[in-house]
């Protein structure tokens, strides 16, 4: 029997978490874990169980990329397949599965699609069940789940939350219990950690060798399957776990209040980053002498992001509320800079900077731009992260996602980067030069 049904034999070697995932009859099930924990093989075992249980089932497998049919999922299906039940479907290492559709002798079928493509390729498929190996792009999720809307069939996910934004999925699956925010959907969630208790089919020595391969920044995701992840090709690569401030501000004798603005009318496009900054200059003592110079310190302490399409009056109200939440008034602001924007959002013939300056009763200067300003800003902010000069407070959720996922493209993440860089980079350039850092220059 084991020779005929490899997926059943493999199930017997699984740890308790993996077996609970495979056997779950919940409509929506997820196995979230570290790398090389067998998640894809577990998904394949679950796939064959579903296809063989009743005739004429249609499984749609959404893979992490277009190579899924030949690598990863394709190989896992091959390793666990009941080949005596397949109809003219064979596999080899180079091409993967010969056919785009795998057919069983009971009329059940398997079709593959990429989770990084467009909705058209997925909308043409009917399914009684869906397996997503690694998270698809968020804009595809509605189309994916609609494939089983009529049948009411199950959906299961196998994933390591590393390399792509997953907060949209976390809200649905796990929520934020520490913030009192439950998940928005009903999921049966299973965790696979890179440890012998979860992976009895591996040796403790082999697992330990793999654990030692990962840096501190990626260990949470690659070892324990934690939600908080990073993109593999990100612009702010020196932002690491130590760059995130969780506690309140340390005591400093002189904090300056800085604001950085990036302007836009659409939801999520009007940004204000609250920055607290101490340049570390010596303070004058009571007797007139100067104290010791301290290490400069800068914290992106909070953020305002317009939740919907907005005008300058609404933006000013949101910025003021953010400041007052920290007992900061507009007259406490030392410096502010904003994007040069005259796109019709401001009143009359004003620029947005001028309009917000009048509404907030502060002076918002223009951002310093020039040739290669974005590249210079990325280099400067990375240097500040690396040298421990710059931190991002945990409450700056959108800015933290930019640090983790932005690849330098002109996308929604860039608005947060611009808001920070307009106000932070001119200050950071000066302090890095003063500390004898690498050559950096104003944009």
Residue 408 has a CB neighbour count (10 Å cut-off) of 15
> How many Å from the N-terminal Cα to the C-terminal Cα in the chain?
69
Dist CA 374 CA 338 (whole Å): 15
pLDDT band at 399 (very low <50, low <70, confident <90, very high): very high
Give 408's contacts (C-beta < 8 A, 6+ positions apart).
235, 374, 378
Domain residue spans of the chain: 6-224, 241-434
Has residue 329 got a pLDDT over 50? Answer: yes
Range name among 98-112, 125-139, 250-264, 333-347 with the lowest pLDDT average: 333-347
| pTM score of the predicted model | 0.58
- Please give the CATH topology (third level) of the domain spanning 6-224: Rossmann fold (3.40.50)
Write out the CATH class of domain 241-434.
alpha beta
Among 175, 185, 174, smallest CA distance to 145 is for 185
Q: What token pair was written down for 264?
A: 């836009």
What sign has the CA pseudo-torsion 341, 343, 349, 354? Answer: negative
What is the reported pLDDT for 423?
96
Three-state SS sequence of 106-151: CCCEEEEEECCCCHHHHHCCCCCEEEEECCCCHHHHHHHHHCCCCC
What is the reported pLDDT for 438?
46
What is the reported pLDDT for 350?
73
Q: What is the pLDDT of residues 144-183, one digit of tens each?
A: 888 888 888 999 999 888 766 788 888 899 988 877 889 9
Q: How far is CA 281 from CA 270, 284, 389, in A?
A: 33, 9, 14
């Amino acid at each position: 029997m084991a020779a005929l049904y490899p997926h059943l034999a493999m199930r017997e070697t699984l740890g308790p978490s993996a077996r609970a995932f495979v056997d779950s009859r919940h409509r929506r099930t997820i196995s979230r874990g570290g790398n090389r924990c067998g998640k894809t093989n577990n998904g394949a075992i679950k796939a064959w169980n579903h296809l063989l249980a009743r005739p004429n089932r249609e499984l749609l497998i959404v893979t992490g990329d277009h190579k899924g049919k030949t690598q990863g999922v394709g190989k896992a299906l091959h390793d666990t397949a009941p080949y005596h039940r397949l109809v003219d479907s064979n596999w080899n290492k180079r091409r993967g599965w010969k056919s785009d559709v795998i057919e069983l002798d009971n009329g059940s079928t398997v079709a593959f699609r990429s989770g990084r493509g467009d909705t058209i390729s997925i909308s043409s498929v009917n399914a009684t069940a869906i397996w997503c190996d690694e998270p698809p792009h968020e804009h595809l999720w509605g189309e994916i789940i609609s494939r089983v809307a009529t049948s009411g069939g199950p959906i299961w996910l196998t994933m390591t939350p590393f390399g792509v934004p997953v907060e949209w999925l976390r809200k649905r699956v796990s929520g934020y219990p520490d913030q009192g925010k439950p998940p928005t959907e009903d999921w049966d969630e299973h965790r696979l950690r890179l440890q012998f208790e979860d992976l009895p089919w591996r040796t403790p020595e082999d697992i330990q060798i793999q654990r030692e391969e990962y840096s501190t920044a990626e260990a949470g995701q690659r070892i324990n399957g934690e939600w908080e992840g990073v993109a593999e090709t990100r612009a702010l690569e020196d932002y690491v776990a130590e760059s995130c401030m969780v506690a309140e501000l340390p005591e400093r004798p002189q904090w300056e209040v800085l604001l950085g603005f990036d302007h836009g009318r659409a939801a999520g496009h009007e940004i204000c980053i609250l920055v607290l900054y101490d340049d570390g200059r010596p303070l004058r003592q009571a007797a007139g002498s100067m104290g010791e110079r301290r290490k400069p310190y800068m914290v992106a302490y909070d953020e305002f992001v317009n939740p919907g399409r907005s005008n300058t009056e609404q933006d000013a109200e949101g910025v003021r509320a953010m400041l007052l939440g920290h007992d900061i008034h507009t007259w406490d602001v030392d410096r502010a800079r904003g994007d040069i924007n005259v796109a019709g959002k401001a009143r009359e013939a004003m620029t947005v900077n001028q309009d917000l300056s009048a509404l907030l009763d502060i002076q918002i200067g223009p951002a310093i731009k020039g040739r290669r300003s974005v590249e210079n800003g990325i280099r400067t902010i990375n240097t500040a992260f690396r040298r421990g000069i710059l931190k991002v407070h945990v409450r700056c959720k959108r800015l933290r996602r930019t640090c983790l996922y932005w690849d330098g493209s002109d996308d929604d993440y860039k608005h947060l980067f611009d808001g920070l860089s307009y106000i932070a980079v001119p200050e950071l350039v000066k302090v890095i030069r003063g500390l004898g850092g690498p050559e950096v220059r104003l944009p």
